[in-house]
Amino acid sequence: MRAVLRIPKIFVTRSTPKQKRAVTNRLWRYRTAQQLSQKQVAQHLGHKSTAQVSRWENSAKTPTLANALMLSHILKAPVEALFADRAAELHAVIGTRTSRLPGVADRMSHADKTRSKE
């Protein structure tokens, strides 16, 4: 018969897998529309390999602001279009926060109405 070691629950830690938040992006779609390879985009960005571009396209990583702005220029698309789902998510968060602040919601809705749509 085999002895079973019982460990008290207070000593047991559960390793929870790190939750990855998928960033839905349209980098691949815009890159292929411009007939650019990942290698060409990487070269324009000053990267030596395509690994980082691949990570961004597969939503494994999110580019820095500087890289997102350069991608916008290279792919001839606004950053908000490249990351439309994330932009919408952030707009919703801001809308929720501003609705709690007195007077701010009115000013924010006016700014949205006067903002140009591209």
pLDDT tens-digit map of 65-93: 999 999 999 999 999 999 988 889 999 99
Contacts (Cβ under 8 Å, ≥6 apart) of 56: 25, 27, 62, 63, 67, 71
| Coil/strand/helix, residue 21 | coil
pLDDT tens-digit map of 25-43: 799 999 999 999 999 999 9
Where do the domains of the chain lie, and which CATH numbers do they carry? 27-114 (1.10.260.40)
